[in-house]
């Protein structure tokens, strides 16, 4: 449950649809457990579903945003509606970090979420995303470079 | 470098500080999003929608419908321009496609100023 909700939140951000997507993942898991052949671990199997469902939700969000008026599309900032406990610097730092993640292309974001947030190995990430090992490495490198360039003004980066 | 060494070095490519920040962020976001009380989630969703000005809802809805129309209209205009240009480049007459379509006689600078004496 934790892995799924973290993965989906990492991909989508703090939005209400996280609940729905997590629920959909478990419904799909329930339906497809009979087809699970054990080629990979159950964790990898579930995380792959979570990533696929999150990518579906992101695509739906893009389509919905395209049909929205410009002003509304610009106003939507999931982080601004999030709980703003803590000092201003900390809130601002989290906001920058979320914006940087959201700006990543979906395929790089999936690698960053699994590799850096879920702490999967490169091989596990490759299995979960059904990608070659080298592709995961290159997407991780590109994603990290992009994250760093977006956050370069922050001093807390290693 | 052996495959094992390469694998090990690539695993170490992830900056630990950034990873920890990301994990903390997602952990907090997840706790906020997956709150146990559904009413809180509903109130939060309502809070987001409350920021819209009610009087603008109709106009915003109209704008959202108009957006695809603008794109479709632009596309049709571009197609007509392209068709017109193609037709202009292929015909050998002195007339423009519009004149040909309307059946108008060819008008030149000379013919426009030519006096018809017979009518008077």
Phi first, then psi: what are they for A32, rounded to 5°? -105, 10
Number of folded domains that form chain B: 1
Nearest neighbour of A14 by CB, restricted to B15, B22, B33: B33
Tens-digit pLDDT profile for residues A27-74: 888 888 777 777 778 888 888 889 999 999 888 888 776 666 555 554
Task: Give the pair of three-digit tokens for residue A34.
Answer: 């009979």
pLDDT tier, B54 (very low <50, low <70, confident <90, very high otherwise): low
Taking an 8 Å cut-off on Cβ atoms, the answer to whether A67 and B11 are in contact is: no
Euclidean distance between CA atoms A59 and B91, whole angstroms? 47
**Relative orientation angle of helices A17-32 and A2-12, to the nearest 10 degrees:** 130
Q: B 60-79 residues with CB below 8 A of A?
A: 60, 63-64, 67-68
pLDDT above 80 (res A118): yes
pTM, whole model, 2 decimals? 0.58
- Report pLDDT for A92: 80
Q: What is the mean pLDDT of residues B41-45?
A: 63
A22 in reach of chain B (CB within 8 A): yes
Query: What DSSP character marks residue A130?
Result: T
| Residues A140 and B14: beta-carbon distance below 8 Å | yes
Q: Beta-carbon neighbour count of residue A146 at 10 Å? A: 18
Euclidean distance between CA atoms A109 and A100, whole angstroms? 10
Euclidean distance between CA atoms A55 and A22, whole angstroms? 13
pLDDT tier, B89 (very low <50, low <70, confident <90, very high otherwise): confident
| Residues A16 and B33: beta-carbon distance below 8 Å | yes
Does residue B39 lie within any of the structural domains? yes
pLDDT tier, B74 (very low <50, low <70, confident <90, very high otherwise): very high
Q: To the nearest whole number, what is the mean pLDDT of chain B?
A: 72
ipTM above 0.90, yes or no: no
Euclidean distance between CA atoms A55 and A25, whole angstroms? 12
Question: In angstroms, what separates the C-alpha of B115 from chain A's closest C-alpha?
Answer: 59
Tens-digit pLDDT profile for residues A65-115: 666 655 555 444 454 444 455 577 777 888 888 888 888 898 899 999 998
- Report pLDDT for B73: 93
Query: A-B interface: how many C-beta pairs under 8 angstroms?
Result: 97
Task: For tokens 């106009």, name the residue.
Answer: B59
Does residue B26 lie within any of the structural domains? yes
Euclidean distance between CA atoms A24 and A6, whole angstroms? 15
- Report pLDDT for B93: 64
A122 in reach of chain B (CB within 8 A): yes
- Fold type of domain A2-150: Butyryl-CoA Dehydrogenase, subunit A; domain 3 (1.20.140)
Full domain range(s) for residue B2: 1-51
Where are the domains positioned within chain A? 2-150
**Relative orientation angle of helices B16-33 and A17-32, to the nearest 10 degrees:** 90
Query: What DSSP character marks residue B105?
Result: P
- Report pLDDT for A81: 46
Task: Give the pair of three-digit tokens for residue A147.
Answer: 């994250």
pLDDT above 90 (res B78): yes
pLDDT tier, A158 (very low <50, low <70, confident <90, very high otherwise): very low
Q: Is the dihedral of CA A99, A100, A105, A106 positive or negative?
A: negative
- Report pLDDT for B75: 95
pLDDT above 80 (res A6): yes
Euclidean distance between CA atoms A116 and A158, whole angstroms? 14
Burial class (CB in 10 A: 0-12, 13-18, 19+), A81: middle
């Amino acid at each position: 449950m934790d892995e799924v909700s973290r993965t989906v939140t990492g991909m989508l951000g703090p939005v209400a649809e996280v609940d729905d997507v997590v629920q959909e993942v478990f419904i799909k898991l329930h339906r497809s457990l009979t087809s699970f052949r054990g080629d990979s671990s159950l964790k990898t199997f579930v995380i792959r579903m979570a990533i696929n469902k999150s990518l579906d939700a992101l695509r739906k969000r893009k389509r919905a945003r395209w049909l929205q008026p410009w002003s509304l599309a610009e106003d939507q900032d999931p982080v601004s509606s999030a709980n703003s406990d803590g000092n201003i610097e900390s809130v601002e730092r989290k906001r920058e970090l979320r914006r940087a993640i959201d700006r990543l292309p979906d395929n790089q974001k999936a690698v960053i979420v699994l590799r850096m947030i879920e702490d999967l190995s490169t091989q596990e990430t490759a299995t979960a995303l059904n990608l070659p090992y080298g592709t995961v490495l290159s997407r991780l490198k590109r994603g990290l470079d992009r994250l760093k360039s977006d956050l370069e003004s922050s001093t807390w980066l290693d | 470098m052996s495959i094992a060494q390469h694998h090990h070095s690539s695993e170490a490519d992830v900056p630990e500080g950034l990873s920890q920040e990301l994990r903390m962020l997602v952990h907090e976001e997840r706790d906020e999003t997956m709150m146990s009380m559904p009413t809180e989630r509903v109130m939060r969703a309502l809070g987001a929608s409350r920021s819209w000005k009610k009087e603008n809802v109709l106009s915003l809805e109209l704008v959202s419908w108009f957006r695809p129309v603008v794109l479709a209209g632009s596309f049709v205009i571009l197609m007509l321009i392209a068709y017109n240009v193609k037709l202009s480049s292929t015909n050998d007459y002195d007339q423009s496609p519009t004149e040909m379509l309307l059946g108008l006689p060819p008008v030149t600078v000379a013919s426009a100023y030519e006096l018809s004496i017979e009518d008077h």
